[in-house]
Structure 1
Amino acid sequence: MATDEEIARFGAVLGELHRLLRRRTVARAAREPLPEAQVEVLLLVRAAPGISGKEVARRLGTAPNTVSTLVRDLADAGLLARERDPADRRVVRLHVTEAARRRMADYEVHRAALLTESLAEVDPAARSAVLAAAPHLDALLTALRNRP
């Protein structure tokens, strides 16, 4: 079993890797970054087209009024489309727009290039180990998502 120190280091490295990768990718894409909360909403809606605002709030563990503000801002920016559920007009269904799809795809291209270049600077054995860890990190992600 891992020690508390190893777990703390792992968490710190993952956090810093995420922050640095996001900042450098946004800079490389030469565009204004979206707030992290908006990115989370877009990623969730892309993964679950037609999801309701209420369900977004539940999955992200956020207050519904916070999600309403995020959705409004994303819709105003042309990145999110809202439509009334025909079965229940009180429910709003969310979809990413084509502009959001293009923006997300562009971001992913820049992120992949940055990772490719950075991994090329790492020792081949370490590079292989990092890439081989992806399925295990995905399993960790699933475990975290399934926790209350």
Structure 2
Amino acid sequence: MVSSVPNEAPVQEAIEGTPLEQAAVADTSREPSPTLEDEAELTLAEELLSGIGALRRGLLRCGPDWPFGPLTGAQAELLRLVRREPGISVANAAATLRVAPNTVSTLVRQLSAAELLRRDADASDRRVARLQLTAAAEGRLGAWRDRRSHAVAAALRTLPADQRAVLAAVVPALAALTNHLEATTGPTGPTGATKAATKSAQEAIRGGSQ
């Protein structure tokens, strides 16, 4: 008597497909179809990044993008932060930049060696270091920022009042967008495509607004 058991598996596979095919069907069924709102947001995101990138490239024609030579992005970011918040502690700088405190300590040592940053002991707690720009760094940063600000102000004066009003309303929205992007990153940052997109957006926004 011939058993029918060996034939059952091929028949079942023909009906249900292989495990790999089943997984592919299951994955496809779980993926939501893009909505018109999703597509609109993606289009806006691309246009926003393109516009900010163009603004930054325009600023490059105003002079050097950074007055301190080949600093890393992290070093430049810390200098910008200390200029905005003189006397900030290492711990607070790490929290603001969303990096580990020892990372900021390493950056401080590097920038101190370059004579761009100094550490002052807190008057009430000498264990706490307060970060300050050196006089040379302050002057160079100020001149660099003023040159960019004056260039943008001159361009703004050529725009009609309604366009200037639109740009003024956009500034808080850009700040909120930046805060949201930063809130989605931990000390080690996001991963994959999110990391690349987040970094691109943050650098474009900061580069165009500072």
Compute the displacement of 1:35 (Å). Answer: 2.9
Whether 1:12 and 2:50 are equivalent positions in the alignment is yes
- The amino acid of 1:56's aligned partner reads A
Instruction: State how many pairs are aligned.
Output: 143
- Quote the Cα distance in structure 2 between the aligned partners of 1:39 and 1:92: 19
- The residue aligned with 1:32 is 69
- Quote the Cα distance in structure 2 between the aligned partners of 1:70 and 1:9: 34
- Quote the Cα distance in structure 2 between the aligned partners of 1:39 and 1:97: 14
Whether 1:49 and 2:82 are equivalent positions in the alignment is no
Identity %: 35
Q: TM-score, normalised by structure 2?
A: 0.54
* Matching residue within 175, 179, 189 for 1:142: 175
| 3-state DSSP of counterpart to 1:3 | helix
Compute the displacement of 1:116 (Å). Answer: 6.0
- The residue aligned with 1:88 is 125
CA separation of 1:42/1:134 partners in 2, compared to 1, >3 Å: closer, same or farther?
Answer: farther
- The amino acid of 1:11's aligned partner reads L
- The amino acid of 1:140's aligned partner reads A
Whether 1:72 and 2:118 are equivalent positions in the alignment is no
CA offsets per residue over residues 42-92 of structure 1, 9 Å max, x none?
221122121111111111112222211221122112221101223323221
- Contact 2:116–2:136 at 8 Å: present in 1 too? yes
* Matching residue within 133, 145, 153 for 1:108: 145
Q: Give the greater-gyration-radius structure (CA).
A: 2
CA separation of 1:128/1:97 partners in 2, compared to 1, >3 Å: closer, same or farther?
Answer: farther
Compute the displacement of 1:146 (Å). Answer: 4.7
- Quote the Cα distance in structure 1 between the aligned partners of 2:113 and 2:179: 32
- Contact 1:80–1:96 at 8 Å: present in 2 too? yes
Compute the displacement of 1:93 (Å). Answer: 0.7
- Quote the Cα distance in structure 2 between the aligned partners of 1:103 and 1:46: 11
* Matching residue within 95, 119, 134 for 1:58: 95
Compute the displacement of 1:24 (Å). Answer: 4.0
- Contact 1:26–1:32 at 8 Å: present in 2 too? no
- Quote the Cα distance in structure 2 between the aligned partners of 1:69 and 1:133: 41
RMSD: 3.3
| 3-state DSSP of counterpart to 1:27 | coil
- Contact 1:28–1:110 at 8 Å: present in 2 too? no
